[in-house]
Structure 1
Amino acid sequence: MDSAPPAASLHVWLLGGLRVTWDGHPINAFESDKARALFCYLLLEARPIRREQLVGLFWGEQPEARARGNLSRVLSNLRDLFPACVSSDRTTVALIPPTPFWVDVHSLRAAYRAVEQTPDAPDAHAALHTALELYQGPLLAGFSLPGCPEFEEWQRIQQEHWHTLALTAWEWQTAYHRQRGEWEAALACARSVLELEPWRERAHRQLMLLLALQGEREAALHQYEQCRRILATELGVTPTAETETLRQRIADATTDDAEMALVAPQPLALPFVGRASAHRWLSACWEAARHGAGGLTLVAGEAGIGKSRLVQEALRFVAGQGVPIFSGRCFEFNRAVPYQAIHEALRPLLTDASPSADTPLWRLLQPGVGAPTPRTALFAAIAAWLPGPAVLFLDDLQWADVDTLDLLHYLVRNPGGVPRWLIGAYRPEECPPDHPLTHLAQTLNRDALLQTLTLDPLTPDAVTELTTRLFGDETRLAAYLFQESAGNPFLIGELLETLRDQAALRVTAGGWEVAGELPTDLPLSARTQDMILQRTQRLDETAQYLLHLAAAHGRPFDAALLAAAGECAASSVTATLHEWQARRLARPVPAGWDFAHDKIRAALYQSVPPPLRRLLHARLVTALEVCDPQNVSALAYHCDQAQQAASAARYLLQAGDQARLAYAHEQSVACYQRGLELTDDVTVRYALLSGLESVYDMASRREEQRTVLEELAALVTTAPFLATPRYAGEVALRQAHYAEATSDYRAAAAAAARVVALAQQADDGALLAAGYQQWGYALRRLEAPLADAAAMYARACAAAERAGAQAVLVDSLQGLANVAWQQGDYATAKAHLAQSLALCQELGDRRGEADAYNIAGLVAQREGDLAAAQAHYARALELRRAIGDRRGQGLSHNNLGSVALALDEWDAAEAAYHTAAALCRTTDDRWGLAIAEVGLAEVALARRQMESARQYAIAGLAGLEQVGATQRAAQSRRLLTRITQATAHQMEQESAGKAPPCGGDGLPQPHTLRRDGDGALPSCS
């Protein structure tokens, strides 16, 4: 880029500090720093901005009327300084500079994009080098706006953007000069990278490599030491393995330059994969054109999909046949230059067959020389000078000027009797119905003169082939790349480069390899973000605003939500959605609409400064409260992002409750914990902690459950509003359940008694019923008289029915069913279970339903129907797995083990009891663990593994005694006696040289081993 063009009225320098001139005169009469800041903001945003956004950005701390008055005053100042440049109405403000005008960052961006589009063009690199000299420091260096944190955050984001762009550009320049062997230029560019970012390790490697390739090994090793010191001082890290590998190669004096080049940080060139059928299609088009078919071939596809690469691969084949190829590219910012792409494509004709200076073609190839040429004469001259056979390829036709498209149309219609292949590539999303290319395609299609190929993303198989060819067998990386890129080759390339920057890919002697785990939240590269944002910048202001709202929503959205949040008419939103679809930014989905790829959403959201993000989220909260008030998870998220802490905590409580009732444990925990971080309101904290304790109980996360219980107990003791019998009773009920779950049944009974007393004080019928139910459970586990437990359960049922507490009624009926089957009254047990199961299904209580099936299995087993018992236990286990009830799963495995034991299926019994034991250990269920150990003792005894049987029986007996299960402990003592007797019997048989009584499988018959008087099997109710 040259210095500011003299014809421009307005010149603006932003990099390194603000400097503005108008008609060559410095502009210093800004009325305040806020006026300077507003000018820069409007200039760089280059779009209409809503007045409320500007007010929030610069005067957010002031009352609205005063803030709007200040905005009007500053705008008046800008109108005086820049006549006819400030456009405003009641809702928006925009800065429209005169034409032409010049801004340093615009020049840098244009040069950057030129190299991006033509990476091998010397002119483009020379222009980029000149433009990079404009980077004299951070954008608006030294400028700050105290009291306006939102603006300063926007300024920081802009500074980071241009800093990253300059870094990338200097790295491009380094690689370009190194590939051409221009060592001094490459060294200078590499040092420029390090001036911007001294801790950039990749740049240190580039510099080390360049020095080594010039024979300056000592200097290269000195550069390594400097890199190591900087990384240690600035970041507290050591150099990566890639840097160490390069240092070792440099230190090895026998390593030659060719070997050194192997470790150069070259870009990862993607292999050409997944395009075989498209390549064949293009080859067929060429064959048809070579034989005089004529017409135009178009390759369509979204940005980065690989159109140019596909055509280049096809043209490589054509060029191998000796056919001349003429290629040109259209540029978005050069549409004011007529025939720009044609001029670029035909430039080789100046040297191959220089036309005379008096021809129209010569005037086209030498713009600015001679008088303008009539269009027909120019078109005819180009047609005449194009040799045949030949190929003319014009890329990015969506940016073509109308003159270029007219010329292309002329060439299609006037082949001149020679075979030519006219081929173009374009992005359909940039070609609405009124686009000139759309009209041309429609015209040619009607006359059968058009062939179009639409290029789809790479398939998962193609991405797997790509990674296999680059890295070997890397299916894990292939799945990752496809998930992150949706098969877009440009995005795949950028992802690989970013992975390399983050040391997830490393160089080895054999090439590249994946190092460690792949990151789950990979940042977008600057090029990826620029590519995506370019596609959105041509939308009008309303469409862009709605697009940012949709990005902030972060999930599928619908027209009604956008209309409400954007305060737009429904018809306008519908038209906008279809425009997004045409531009391949969004697509319809069953839930409404969603972005075509999540990378689009991410790029849009990242481009919005945090203050404006908060405004977008606040608008979405307002809209959702009207359109979708039941969507509490979305409301919680948007309130949180809008920094509406109190509302966010309330919605997080509701979202956590919804997730808990759906047994989505991790999601509910995340909601409750985030809510606790946001609120000090004791009633909300109590509800959040209560929900959290319930989730920890279901998931058997006992340590975390105990901690939450302690906090709840402290809260109802210290918070005046919560210091009531009702809240104290609710906490005592949770403590009773925790004690029962950890097999401390005496503590459970004591806590349940406190619940009953507190519930009576509070006159709370539901709490009273729950207290009685929990008390009855504890008594049954303590093996108190069954009549006492039954009385508690009966009181619980009566209180629950009076209070309408159906969930407590479910548990109480199941308690009565347990008492009934233990008393041998199976009909009554079944009646209670039927009533309980019906209530569970009505309430959607899957935990209660699982418990009902478990008890039904116990009843069936006592009745001798082992098949029915096994089916009931399996159903209970299925439900408990589905809801994440790990303690309940342990009980189910114990019961399945008891059925297998009764069927003499020793392997199945052993597996079930081992699984039960593992689950009970992790859930701190000492009673269930003891039952599993007794079951394993029975299995070992049946297999005549006497020492194992004895050890398991001793462990089970100790556990049962510890939890106060006296009857079960007595059974275990009798089991130990049987084991002792069987051991003695076995020793007698062995000393006599006789084999023990065995079944067909060589194992002892069970009836000879199980004679304890009551026939009890180790199972759980």
Structure 2
Amino acid sequence: MHALKLSLLGPIEIEFQNRPFSGAPHDKGFMLLAYLAVEGARPHSREALAEMLWPDLPAERGRHNLRQTLFRLRNLLGNSKVGNFFETDRHRIWFNRQSDYLLDLDQFTHARDVDTASLLRRLNLYRGMFMEDLRSETSEEFALWIEGRRTQTHRLMLALLEEACTRFESQNETVAALRWAERYVDLAPWNEDGHRRLIQLLAKNGQRSAAIAHYHAMVESLDHELGVTPSAESRRLFERLEQTATAPPNEQADKHIWHGGNNPGLGHEYRQITVLRCGFGYQDIDDPEAFADAVAEPIALAARTIEEHNGWIAVARSTGILAYFGWPTADERATTHAVRAAIAVASRISEKTARSLSIGIHTGPIILTNETNRPDTIGLTTDIVLRLQISTPPGIIAISEATRRCIRGHFELSALPPLTMTEQSRPLGVWRVHRDNQGVLMDGQAQKPPLVGRDVELESLLDDWTQVQSGRCVVTVLVGEAGIGKTRLLQALHDKIDRPLLRETHCDPLMKQTPYHPVMHFFRRHLDLPRNYPDTLVTHKLEAHYTSFPSRDGGGIIKPLQWLLARPSDEGLSEHSASTHSGDGERHQLAEAVASLLETSAQTTPLLLVIEDLHWADPSTLALLGYLTTRLAQSRIHMCLTMRSTACLPNNLLERARILQLKPLDLSASLQLTQRIAPPDKTSSDFALVIAKQSEGNPMFIVELTHMLHDDALDDTLPGKLQELISTRIEQACEDKPLLRAAAVIGREFCTAHLARLLELPEATVDEGLRRLSQRHLIERSSDDGPTYRFAHALVHQITYQSTTRSQRRVMHRQFATLLQNANDIDAGAIAWHLTETGAYAEAIGWWLKSGRNAASLAAYTEAVSHFERGLQLLEHIPDREAFWETELDLLIQLAYPLAITKGYYDSKSERLYRRALEISKRHAVEPRHGLALLRSYWFGASSRNSFSESRLIAGRMIELAESVHANVFAALGHYLYGNASLWLGDFHRACDHLQETLSRLDHKDQETDHFLRNDQHFDITATGYLGWNMWFLGRIDQALRLTQRAVQMAETRHHPATLMAALATYIGTRIWCRRSDEVATAAQRLGALCQEHGFRMWGDVGTLASVWATAANRKSREGLDDAEAAMNRATALWPGGATGFQFILVDACIMAGDSVRGWRILSQAWKTMQATGSRAFFAGCKLAEARLLALDGQNHEHCLRESIEVAQQQEAHSLEILAWGDLHETYHARGTVLPETHRQRMRDTLSRCSGTELAPELAYINRQLHGIA
């Protein structure tokens, strides 16, 4: 920041070290400072300066005043502490150009416009005429100097405004161009070129009625001020406007290149609009002519009122008015404007007429086509509103449920009886409008959604409030897209600081050309002044409220407010007319009156001043705010402004403000918000995740989408409020809307080359259109320098896509599918999707099969399931389904493994799909390989739901069938499945034989080339892991550890996540038996991370179980046992066949943590599971656990240990036998006795059959105990 700041373009503002000086317009010292700074390029004689500033004084007296003034200035400016701003000698004075100062005139006149941002900075510097509020008497020479500078800067400002209008219009940024065109007319009201530019931009922006109104205002102004009529060119422009009175703004766009040739229907679109129908019913008038006379004046008044609220009159007859809001230009507040228009109509007509008036309002879609120049006035939406109005009793404003959803919280409503229509499946919800709740933003009674994910921003606002309490004005500008949560954050601030003195208002897009509209709105609401309140009563209200106001001059407050509020605002006074009909003096008095009111209010209690939607503010309001920030710098006021962009903020306001940019919520916060506001029966993670992802972090989108859950309306149709908001954004595409729709058909992401080929246009032409769309923030580049774009938001893509008619979408989907099929790099999934959207289901099914295989080959199993299931769903819509039996069988077989990985081993859906595959195989002569693949699927079911004995029989049948047809890879697979089932059955030697046979037969390359198995797990790796686990039971500890380690290493080199997780599971299981807890903890953490990354549900729960087991082993702690039990239950539901293994891990953890109650409960479940599935591999282990639980409870447990030893001997599970012998040895030792020698010898014999026992701590300990060295 500069030490000295001089702002002379507009009201004089001088600051030193961030402290403003008051009285500058009246002070000769500041006039001297300004003159020297502006003319700093040369020295000035003392005599000339004295004569210029004090022309009526003698020369000596003038020089004395000059010396005193210079002395006072030096004292005010720090007396050289921060640098000397003046240089002097005996005869001359000049300004030190090297000092620490900033002069707005230098920046304005000498800056170069290297880009749009620098041009905007220069434009914002010009707040008004050069030193426009100068009040002091000066010499003629000084007055000529002032006038010269004013002329120079005024001309430069007009030139810059012309450049800004031209630049923004060429970039199709009509709204921005309009803002600067309005400013031009404000500064040069006599210039017809400026008026014509503004009129043309208004028309281009769809504001035809505003354009015509401005022409009439110009005619009146030229006549009143100059006594001339408009030029011929201006009159011709007006005639063209009238000739296109009913033409939509995109008529010229319909002739654009995007509409030609290949896709003429791109000009057609769906659009959500709000339709208002009002009618009068005079029951006592039978004569049609008398009726027409009676309603003529009310109809005319209603039509004017509706147009003032941005409504488009489709029909205006004696029977009533039909009006459209959100057409011809999309309007994000169309529904709000429609309801407010209805309220205004009812309030403006006479009380007697109002009793005969009924109004109906409905929000719904219409179709716009190139062939029509108006909306479809006979469509369903219009038909509904006609019936609604006819059924509404006189004196009532009725709205439909669809309209209510768009305005909820903004109006006071009550329910009316529903309207039944034969064409509709259910009655139409109807609501009565009572009054407007506008303006109650911060302190309203409407239920607020919870504030989530904004802790940092709220803390920042609270810090600002702390500064305010210490005695200074703080300006905070909250910036973010619509719905991002600016208002909600301010509501939270208001609640957090214990509801301080609050003043609030807002800006309205319809009032952007009405000077001081937010200020008028505040005072009218604060004083309860109706819009059409008589001037005399306005004065009485002001006098009653402010005469005794504790300010320096109560009258100084009333007069400016009277000037503001008593004006005929219904005439739509423009910025130009405000400056024409009122002098700068009144404006300054108004600014001082508002400042005085705020300053006085904040003396006793800090004030929170909230102004919403400042991006819609008129220039006069922005200038007023800039003045207030300087004038109230030492007042306890927190000025909070919300807006979507800071582009319109004047520099003096921008420099003082702290910008708080609100970003979208992250997924975690979005999910939390969704779950907190969703109805209780729809808080599942699936519902919440869909909404959280679809919203892309916009809180309002989350709230509106969640409201659909409350309304039981979760479908492809978006809430009406979102449609209004996003349609308005899409409207910014102007003539490029057809290009945007074509891109939407391709998808959320698209590339220039594809779009150009689809439209049969040169890439350069398409790229230019995409550049314009990117500038409007509708799309964005996917990478900095690539040719790929994506829609800026998923909902922008969705509404753009839905705005294209279904028939045109089908045509373009077919064209794009054909284009993709002819590409070098074929994207099967994209082709499948586009063919499906075309309705070519028979053709699409094969592509879904292919894309599912591609996804599975990348281990993208969730996507693979989705693609295979989509193909199966389409088959249900094929008339001749049986003709596709081979494709269906392929889909069913290929789906089995991805479904098991993502949803669990053989759930009810898997069984249903398997039964369907079996049915096909019985009806048709299937190839042997199909039969083998079916046996593989059947094995999944048997090992998961039925019993391991049955799954082993199936594996045996597979081996026989594979051998008979010489299918070596299936034979090897059969041996793996046989060995797997044998292990679970506790038949460890047979398991070892078959798993080793698998490894001797299976060549991974054979599996990779097999049509049915290439996307399955890598069986040579899983067989290695299972063989290692099996070796532990057989007592070969060293081989067990080595083989399971090798399986993990092999899986890592193959980069196959599902296989790696299976290998990690056997690695963990082996190390749990070996009591190697640190290795278990590390592997469990890795398993959990992999599952989270790839979405494999079951193995993630296994990781949780193993992690808790390691904690119990290391710390003997119960920490995490609840989580482990929940994980065990989930894993058991996903794979019932493996439940005994999960249950045993948790029982073992309970024993180590000393939680016998939980241990007994889980062990009971394990015995039941073992009986159901035959998983006797864990029988001896569970008996050992039972013995340890009895010991934990202080009970006799020797019988359990002997039974464990007996079963382990039968299974030749030497490791389990040793563990049981070890516990029995400890039991005898605890009783003070010694294990009989025969038993000790049997322990030695068993240990002699084992290898690597030193690698398992518990086995090593038993060995040492046996040999007396422990």
2:1147 to 936, 948, 955: 936
Mapped to 1, the partners of 2:266 and 2:1147 lie a distance apart of 81
1:576 to 758, 769, 780: 769
Q: CA distance change for structure 1 residues 618 and 346 in 2, over 3 Å: closer, same or farther?
A: same
| SS of aligned partner of 1:560 | helix
Q: Deviation per CA, 1:439-478: give whole Å up to 9, x if none.
A: xx9xxx9xx9999999999836999xxxxxxxxx999999
Aligned counterpart, 1:749: 952
Mapped to 1, the partners of 2:1000 and 2:266 lie a distance apart of 75
| SS of aligned partner of 1:227 | strand
The offset of 1:555, in angstroms, is 0.9
With 849-858 and 621-630 compared, the bigger mean Cα shift is at 621-630
2:732 to 515, 529, 535: 535
2:1051 to 828, 840, 854: 840
| SS of aligned partner of 1:557 | strand
Is 1:197 paired with 2:394?
A: no
Mapped to 1, the partners of 2:864 and 2:802 lie a distance apart of 27
Aligned counterpart, 2:417: 227
Is 1:853 paired with 2:1050?
A: no
Aligned counterpart, 2:1178: 968
Q: CA distance change for structure 1 residues 925 and 499 in 2, over 3 Å: closer, same or farther?
A: closer
Q: CA distance change for structure 1 residues 170 and 587 in 2, over 3 Å: closer, same or farther?
A: closer
Mapped to 2, the partners of 1:896 and 1:498 lie a distance apart of 38
The offset of 1:684, in angstroms, is 2.7
Show the 5 A alignment for 1:749-828: 749-786=952-989, 788-801=990-1003, 804-805=1006-1007, 807-828=1018-1039
Mapped to 2, the partners of 1:206 and 1:665 lie a distance apart of 59
Mapped to 2, the partners of 1:322 and 1:454 lie a distance apart of 27
Q: Percent identity?
A: 13
CA contact (8 A) 1:840 1:848 kept: yes
1:565 to 752, 758, 769: 758
Mapped to 1, the partners of 2:974 and 2:726 lie a distance apart of 59
Match for 1:846: what amino acid? P
Q: Deviation per CA, 1:98-117: give whole Å up to 9, x if none.
A: xxxxxxxx9x99x9xxxxxx
Q: CA distance change for structure 1 residues 535 and 207 in 2, over 3 Å: closer, same or farther?
A: farther
CA contact (8 A) 1:552 1:616 kept: yes
1:313 to 494, 518, 523: 518
Aligned counterpart, 2:1078: 867
| SS of aligned partner of 1:133 | strand
Q: Deviation per CA, 1:158-215: give whole Å up to 9, x if none.
A: 99999x999999755432223447556556553555994379989989978679xxxx
The alignment covers a number of residue pairs equal to 726
Q: Deviation per CA, 1:712-766: give whole Å up to 9, x if none.
A: 222222234xx12110110101111232233611111111112112222332222
Aligned counterpart, 1:957: 1167
The offset of 1:612, in angstroms, is 0.8
CA contact (8 A) 2:1022 2:1063 kept: no
Mapped to 2, the partners of 1:877 and 1:499 lie a distance apart of 31
| SS of aligned partner of 2:839 | coil
The offset of 1:774, in angstroms, is 0.7
Q: CA distance change for structure 1 residues 546 and 210 in 2, over 3 Å: closer, same or farther?
A: closer
Is 1:555 paired with 2:748?
A: yes
Match for 2:757: what amino acid? A
CA contact (8 A) 1:783 1:967 kept: yes
Q: CA distance change for structure 1 residues 749 and 187 in 2, over 3 Å: closer, same or farther?
A: farther
Aligned counterpart, 1:176: 344
Aligned counterpart, 2:436: 266
Match for 1:736: what amino acid? W
Mapped to 2, the partners of 1:455 and 1:120 lie a distance apart of 44
The offset of 1:345, in angstroms, is 5.5
Match for 2:848: what amino acid? L
| SS of aligned partner of 2:781 | strand
Aligned counterpart, 2:935: 732
CA contact (8 A) 1:325 1:390 kept: no
Mapped to 2, the partners of 1:800 and 1:872 lie a distance apart of 27
CA contact (8 A) 2:1143 2:1163 kept: no
The offset of 1:622, in angstroms, is 3.4
Match for 2:346: what amino acid? R
Match for 2:917: what amino acid? L
Q: Deviation per CA, 1:673-714: give whole Å up to 9, x if none.
A: 221122342333223223432233112161111111111222
Q: Deviation per CA, 1:630-686: give whole Å up to 9, x if none.
A: 544333322221223234323333443455566666544333222112234233322
Mapped to 1, the partners of 2:318 and 2:982 lie a distance apart of 80
Q: CA distance change for structure 1 residues 200 and 666 in 2, over 3 Å: closer, same or farther?
A: farther
Aligned counterpart, 2:841: 645
The offset of 1:824, in angstroms, is 3.2
Q: CA distance change for structure 1 residues 136 and 457 in 2, over 3 Å: closer, same or farther?
A: farther
Match for 1:811: what amino acid? T
Show the 5 A alignment for 1:991-1010: none
Q: CA distance change for structure 1 residues 968 and 841 in 2, over 3 Å: closer, same or farther?
A: closer
| Structure number with larger C-alpha Rg | 2
| SS of aligned partner of 1:190 | strand
Match for 2:384: what amino acid? E
Mapped to 2, the partners of 1:614 and 1:209 lie a distance apart of 44
Is 1:124 paired with 2:334?
A: no
Unaligned runs of 5+ in 1: 1-41, 55-88, 97-105, 112-117, 140-157, 212-222, 247-262, 281-301, 329-340, 349-381, 393-397, 399-404, 409-426, 432-440, 464-472, 505-514, 988-1003
CA contact (8 A) 2:828 2:851 kept: yes
Aligned counterpart, 2:1134: 923
TM superposition score normalised by structure 2: 0.46
Q: CA distance change for structure 1 residues 763 and 161 in 2, over 3 Å: closer, same or farther?
A: farther
| SS of aligned partner of 1:907 | coil
The offset of 1:814, in angstroms, is 2.0
Show the 5 A alignment for 1:210-221: none
Mapped to 2, the partners of 1:971 and 1:481 lie a distance apart of 47
CA contact (8 A) 1:279 1:314 kept: no
- How large is the Cα RMSD of the aligned pairs? 6.5
CA contact (8 A) 2:1160 2:1189 kept: yes
CA contact (8 A) 2:361 2:389 kept: no
Mapped to 2, the partners of 1:94 and 1:962 lie a distance apart of 64
2:560 to 322, 326, 348: 322
Mapped to 1, the partners of 2:1185 and 2:585 lie a distance apart of 100
Aligned counterpart, 2:867: 671
Aligned counterpart, 2:536: none
Match for 1:695: what amino acid? P
Mapped to 2, the partners of 1:867 and 1:499 lie a distance apart of 45
Match for 1:550: what amino acid? A
Aligned counterpart, 2:550: none
Mapped to 1, the partners of 2:1000 and 2:947 lie a distance apart of 27
1:689 to 892, 913, 917: 892
Mapped to 1, the partners of 2:477 and 2:1145 lie a distance apart of 68
Match for 1:964: what amino acid? G
Q: Deviation per CA, 1:314-342: give whole Å up to 9, x if none.
A: 687999882867999xxxxxxxxxxxx99
CA contact (8 A) 1:551 1:601 kept: yes
Mapped to 1, the partners of 2:826 and 2:713 lie a distance apart of 38
The offset of 1:776, in angstroms, is 1.0
Match for 1:197: what amino acid? I
CA contact (8 A) 1:816 1:829 kept: yes
Q: Deviation per CA, 1:14-44: give whole Å up to 9, x if none.
A: xxxxxxxxxxxxxxxxxxxxxxxxxxxx999
Show the 5 A alignment for 1:353-752: 390=587, 459=662, 522-524=718-720, 527-528=724-725, 531-532=728-729, 534-537=731-734, 539=735, 543-590=736-783, 592-625=788-821, 629-660=825-856, 667-679=863-875, 680=881, 681-698=884-901, 699-700=903-904, 702-720=907-925, 723-742=926-945, 744-752=947-955
Mapped to 2, the partners of 1:1006 and 1:187 lie a distance apart of 100
